[in-house]
Amino acid sequence: MELTGAEIIMECLLREGVEVMFGYPGGAILPTYDAMTRYPQIHHVLVRHEQGASHMADGYARATGRVGVAIATSGPGATNLVTGLATAMMDSSPIVAITGQVARGAIGSDAFQETDVTGVTLPVTKHNYLVSDVEELAYVIQEAFYIARTGRPGPVLVDVPKDVQNEKIEFVYPENGIRLPGYRPAEQAAEDQVAAAIEMIKHAQRPIILAGHGIMMGRATNELRELSEKAGIPVALTLLGKGAMPENHPMVLGMMGMHGAAACNYAIQESDLLIALGMRFDDRVTGNLKTYAPGAHKIHIDIDPSEINKNVKVDLGISGDVRTVLAQLLPRVEVQQHPDWIARIRDWQEDADERDILHHNTGEHLLGAQVINDLWRFTNGEAITVTDVGQHQMLEAQYYPHQRPATMITSGGLGTMGFGLPAAIGAKFGRPNEEVWAIVGDGGFQMTMAEMATAAQENVDVNIAILNNGFLGMVRQWQEFFYEERYHATPMFNPDFCKLSEAFGIPAMRVTHRNQIEESVAFARSVKGPALVEYAIEKEDIVYPMVPAGADLHNMIRRPKPGEVIQK
């Protein structure tokens, strides 16, 4: 059959199983938007800013494990995707972005809305294409989806000139599959690597598993739990690893790193074996590399060989699919227990429990930790939470334990403020039967709050929880500790979020006391469509513990026990 390039794009998306895409039209992509009218099977969500499209595609991908799709026009439309592409790249999220480009004859002439988007996005995509021949278009779309979802997932961009979209050819869908000779992600570990890992596990007295995002992307949650239970090894989670193993499991220590659980960080520092699975030893996890787990042998298993020995030198590096490698190890792992080691960890956990703000008398103050913990209680811990970036993000990681994979979605590597609301919309499209909460701060929310119009237009059943402290809270916290409380450019003038929400036609409620939180959850659940709850929280609260940037992981600033005075 004879099709235009634009229709070929839509045919390929349909055959890739795409059901929804997030985008914004413009001149250079208009032929494809016109073709959409002939493909009603794929729902298009009109965003209010292209950054929102890339975050929605990302949230959809993380919630479902499928490839998310964003679409934009040339020039500013394409460059507005960059922050979302970089976010997806840092967190290994599979999305395909399709952008329009000026006609081939105008490329390089500084034509209206022309940008070299493949050049711009080269550092923040797994791969990208400029399609110069309509005959190659279908193959490129196929390859883009394949590359995005296989190996270490990531974003792929396809830039299509307008005249390629308009050109007609006799179309036959390529059925021969993908052959990329230079792209062969590793799968299995070598026999000598398996044997070495088994010996290291066998002789360890104080082992710790470090479980990252790769556990969920590699669908290795069952294998992780089996290894932990069989070998008696506690599990520490990265921020993006939350949900890789149920957080109420007795072997789970919580989140590691800068704002991680103190017991978790102490255990890492005193361990004699670290088994890192699908994580990349980010600086927020390790602290000072020179003093990181100094007495530990280290095993690192990751699908991306470039991550092995990149940040932390390891004794055994295995490049392979984490599920496949664990399946190789498990039959040979001996049943073990480490009672003395577990008892030592429990002592640290008891000390942390004494310091927990939830057990302190805070008077009339409404604290972010209380809000998050009550959201967890009143949603029975079953919601998908999608956070923005800042204090509320760390509080969510600490006070909303997740029992299922892919139920905590956040920007980890890039730390993208503005991610929360659009990513929550994308997640809801991906898992429409789940309860979804966007948990955001007053700062990050204002970066993409225009997407409230998208939520309203689509009547997306997303609950928005704004933790409003009138500050850029995490930056203010750093100013308090390290800049002698010079709060420059962190106090914020905010709109009346409830009135703003109602202007979009979204019901809203303001909460000022803790005894209103249960009512607020019931209110949000009663709304059939988007709802917003503003929580007016303490202005100068601090997220504890905190490892100062570049400090030793065990050198945490801890919340004082009652009667103690903190040393800043």
* Torsion angle defined by CA atoms of residues 505, 506, 507 and 508, in that order, rounded to the nearest 10 degrees: -120
Same domain, 409 and 309: no
pLDDT of residue 362: 82
Are residue 529 and residue 450 in the same domain, yes or no? yes
CB proximity list for 16: less than 8 A, separation 6 or greater = 67, 141, 142, 145
Q: Are 185 and 151 in contact (CB under 8 A)?
A: yes
Q: How many CA atoms lie within 13 A of 51 on its CB side?
A: 16
- Angle at which helices 191-203 and 322-329 cross, to 10°: 70
**Does residue 239 sit within a domain?**
yes
Q: Within a domain: residue 185?
A: no
Q: Which of 11, 50, 143, 307 is catalytic?
A: 50
Does 350 qualify as catalytic in the annotation? no
Q: Are 98 and 155 in contact (CB under 8 A)?
A: no
Same domain, 13 and 137: yes
Specify burial of residue 116 (Cβ count, 10 A radius: 0-12, 13-18, 19+): middle
CA distance 555 to 565: 17
* CA 300 from centroid of its chain's CA atoms: 21
Alpha-carbon distances of 429 from 72, 162, 260, 378, 450, rounded to whole Å: 19, 29, 31, 23, 18
| From 126, 162, 242, 298, active-site residue | 162
- Average pLDDT of the segment spanning 318-331: 98
311 plus 344 within the same structural domain: yes
The pLDDT assigned to 564 comes to 77
Mean pLDDT taken over the chain? 97
Would the pLDDT of 568 be above 60? no
> Does residue 491 sit in the same domain as residue 445?
yes
pLDDT band at 563 (very low <50, low <70, confident <90, very high): confident
Q: Indicate whether 264 and 413 sit together in one domain.
A: no
Angstrom distances, CA of residue 41 to CA of 37, 53, 123, 316, 492 = 10, 19, 33, 48, 44
Three-state SS annotation for 112-164: CCCCCHHHHHHHHCCEEEECCCHHHHHHHHHHHHHHHHCCCCCCEEEEEEHHH
Of 348, 375, 405, the position where a domain reaches its end is 348
- 155 and 65 housed in the same domain: yes
Helix (H) or strand (E) holding 252: strand 252-255
Length of the chain: 568
Residue 565 has pLDDT above 80, yes or no: no
Sign of the C-alpha dihedral, residues 315, 321, 323, 325?
A: negative
Residue 106: the pLDDT is 97
User: Where does the pLDDT of residue 533 fall: very low under 50, low under 70, confident under 90, or very high at 90 and above?
Assistant: very high
- With a cut of 70, say whether residue 66 has pLDDT above it: yes
Output the CA torsion sign for 42, 387, 90, 472: positive
233 with 300, same domain: the answer is yes
Question: Is 175 inside any structural domain?
Answer: no
Q: Say whether 89 is catalytic.
A: no
Q: Are residues 60 and 107 in the same domain?
A: yes
Catalytic residue among 19, 113, 188, 481: 113
| Domain span holding position 452 | 366-536
**11 is annotated as an active-site residue:** no
Mean pLDDT of 186-203: 96
| In-domain check, residue 254 | yes
Is residue 242 annotated as part of the catalytic site, yes or no? no
Indicate whether 310 and 431 sit together in one domain.
no
Assign 567 a pLDDT band (cuts: 50, 70, 90). low
Is 529 within 8 Å of 268 (Cβ atoms)? no
Strand, coil or helix: what is 235?
strand
DSSP 158-213: EEEEHHHHH-EEE-----S----TT-----PPPHHHHHHHHHHHHH-SSEEEEE-H
Which tokens sit at 15? 């055959």
Alpha carbons 153 and 89: distance in angstroms, whole number: 8
- In this prediction, residue 17 carries a pLDDT of 98
CATH number (domain holding residue 299): 3.40.50.1220
Q: How confident is the model at residue 272 (pLDDT cuts 50, 70, 90)?
A: very high
Average pLDDT (219-244) is 98
Establish if 183 belongs to a structural domain.
no
State how far Cα 459 lies from the chain centre.
24
- Residue 566's pLDDT band (boundaries 50, 70, 90)? low
Total count of domains within the chain: 3
Contacts of residue 1, defined as CB under 8 A and 6 or more positions apart, other chains included, come to 170, 171
Closest CA to 210 of 93, 323, 300: 300
| Residue 555 covered by a domain | no
Would the pTM of this model clear 0.85, i.e. be above it? yes
pLDDT (tens digit, 9 = 90+) per residue, 368-382? 999 999 999 999 999
Q: What is the CATH number of the domain that holds 151?
A: 3.40.50.970
Residue 201, domain member (yes or no) = yes
Task: Give Cβ neighbours of residue 159 (< 8 Å, ≥ 6 apart).
Answer: 78, 99, 100, 101, 117, 118, 128, 129, 130, 131
Confidence of residue 364 (pLDDT cuts 50, 70, 90): confident
The number of C-alpha atoms within 13 Å of 52 and in the hemisphere containing its C-beta is: 23
Check whether residue 339 and residue 407 sit in a common domain.
Answer: no
Report yes or no: 69 and 96 within 8 Å, Cβ to Cβ. Answer: yes
Do 195 and 157 belong together in one domain? no
Give the pLDDT confidence score for residue 184 in this predicted structure: 86
Active-site residue 313, yes or no? no
Compute how many other C-beta atoms are within 10 angstroms of the C-beta atom of residue 366. Answer: 21
Q: What is the pLDDT of residues 429-481, one digit of tens each?
A: 999 999 999 999 999 999 999 999 999 999 999 999 999 999 999 999 999 99
Helix (H), strand (E) at residue 536: strand 531-536
Q: Which of 135, 170, 205 is the last residue of a domain?
A: 170
pLDDT band, very low/low/confident/very high, at 386 (cuts 50, 70, 90): very high
Per the residue annotation, which of 417, 474, 546, 556 is the catalytic one?
Answer: 474
**202 assigned to some structural domain:** yes
Residue 77 CA to residue 24 CA, distance in Å, equals: 8
Asked if 439 contacts 411 with a C-beta cutoff of 8 angstroms, the reply is: no
- Tell me, what's the pLDDT at 179? 85
Instruction: List CB contacts of 28: < 8 A, sequence separation 6 or more.
Output: 73, 74, 75, 77, 99, 100, 101, 102, 113, 161, 162
